[in-house]
Amino acid sequence: MRITEIEVGYLAYPVPRPMWNGRGWRPATRPMLLVRVHTDEGVTGVAEAALTVATPGVLAALVRDEIGGLVRGMDPLAVEAVWQRVLDAAGSASRAGLAIVALSAVDVALWDIRGKVAGLPVATLLGGSRARAPAYASAGFYQEGQDADELAAEMRSYVEQGFRYLKMKIGWLPLRDDLERITAVLAAIGADVPLAIDANGMLAPKDALRLARELEGANILWLEEPVATDDVDGSALVAAGTTIPIAGYETEHSLRGFRELVVRRAVDIVQPDVALTGGFTGCRKVAALAEAWNLPCAPHAFTSALTLVGNLHFVASIPNGYLLELDRTPNALRDELLLEELALDADGCVAVPDGPGLGVTLNPDTVSRYRVAW
């Protein structure tokens, strides 16, 4: 079997109400690049290229033209050979940043092909640790005109929907105001529901420590990306100074970057993402690194349904898989992109699709409704 072509399409879902995180990321649309890797035997793999590090045109050209040109004619089942070809061509800086994000999409599509050829779900091919994964509701953004009470009611609604773990955003407001929001949410969700707080890298280490120590008596699941991604010493300082686990860093994309975070004890919970950290091939190496340090892996997943289902296969396949991130902010490219439903069950878990590969089918109506360019 040979790779013949990589096809890329650009979709975007308009955000209905302005929302932003601690970093001030305020998307007008929730975009995705839909990637299809075609083969000479008619098997096609699908994936998403994550638009977190480049504009659609740049990332599309990188995936379709640059990587597509390098891997045409290669065996789609030989994922490590594909990696090597791309990394050799991209040069010494290629194991991080834009190159690895582009390669992530191709890798996920190749694993979809591997599963389809084998007649097995990707999670089974990777190790099949469990058939479902517990999920947390990822939401609680800053929103125009939303006060702490409205935020608390929003977070409470996820508990009512069956979520047993929640996550909200911090880092945009002064510490005292963020603390007020957190306190309101904790009171609304009850002491039995652990709450993660995500600063998106916006706190100074001392401020992160002060905040963490204020919250040590509460049921805090983790403090996510407290400081800038490349401030490994700062993150280690925070981790050493509080009993609250430090989670991160979705903004680190390389295996060796994760090595620094893990070995220097800058994180207690490791957060790669199949759309950012080199697909399944990259993420399972990060998971093994974490396992060697007795750390759980809770993948980041905050784009379309394809990235969500990819991270579901990943977290269900590894022995140290922890929670699945289930974004609850409005996005039809998550909720309506697939014909299959990725729903929360009565135990607060999401089942891994049992079809071959990623086990999903794109909804052609949704693809055409949100299509921007092809």
List contacts with Mg ion (CB under 5 A). Answer: 198, 224
Tell me whether the omega of the peptide bond preceding residue 142 falls within 30 degrees of 0, making it cis.
no
Q: Considering the candidates 112, 154, 273, 327, report the single residue annotated as catalytic.
A: 273
Please work out, in degrees rounded to the nearest 5, the angle formed at the alpha carbon of residue 46 by the alpha carbons of 14 and 278. 90
Q: Is 325 a catalytic residue?
A: yes
Q: What are phi and psi of 362, to 5 degrees?
A: -70, 140
For residues 38 and 167, which CB has a smaller minimum distance to Mg ion in the complex? 167
Q: Is 169 a catalytic residue?
A: yes
Instruction: DSSP for 48-102, please give it.
Output: EE-TTSS-HHHHHIIIIIIIHHHHTTS-TT-HHHHHHHHHHHH-TTTTSHHHHHH
For residues 32 and 90, which CB has a smaller minimum distance to Mg ion in the complex? 32
DSSP bridge partners of 351? 132
3-state DSSP assignment of residue 189: helix
Using CB positions, name the residue nearest to Mg ion: 198
Least distance CB 204 / Mg ion (angstroms):
18
For residues 207 and 224, which CB has a smaller minimum distance to Mg ion in the complex? 224
Comparing C-alpha atoms, which of 52, 80, 62 is closest to residue 8? Answer: 62
Q: Is 224 a catalytic residue?
A: yes
Q: Considering the candidates 198, 207, 225, 268, report the single residue annotated as catalytic.
A: 198
Rounded to whole angstroms, the Cα distance separating 327 from 53 reads: 19
Least distance CB 283 / Mg ion (angstroms):
16
Least distance CB 21 / Mg ion (angstroms):
8
Q: Is 38 a catalytic residue?
A: no
Contact 312, 306 (CB under 8 A): no
For residues 126 and 326, which CB has a smaller minimum distance to Mg ion in the complex? 326
Least distance CB 225 / Mg ion (angstroms):
5
Q: Is 273 a catalytic residue?
A: yes
Least distance CB 11 / Mg ion (angstroms):
22
Please list, in sequence order, all residues whose beta carbon lies within 8 angstroms of the beta carbon of residue 135, skipping any fewer than 6 positions away: 163, 165, 323, 324, 325, 326, 344, 348, 349, 350
Contact 260, 96 (CB under 8 A): no
Q: Is 5 a catalytic residue?
A: no
For residues 48 and 224, which CB has a smaller minimum distance to Mg ion in the complex? 224
Amino acid, single-letter form, for residue 36 = R
Q: Considering the candidates 250, 252, 268, 327, report the single residue annotated as catalytic.
A: 250
For residues 62 and 100, which CB has a smaller minimum distance to Mg ion in the complex? 100
Least distance CB 315 / Mg ion (angstroms):
15
Q: Is 198 a catalytic residue?
A: yes
Contact 329, 139 (CB under 8 A): yes
Q: Considering the candidates 112, 178, 207, 325, report the single residue annotated as catalytic.
A: 325
Active site residues: 169, 198, 224, 250, 273, 300, 325
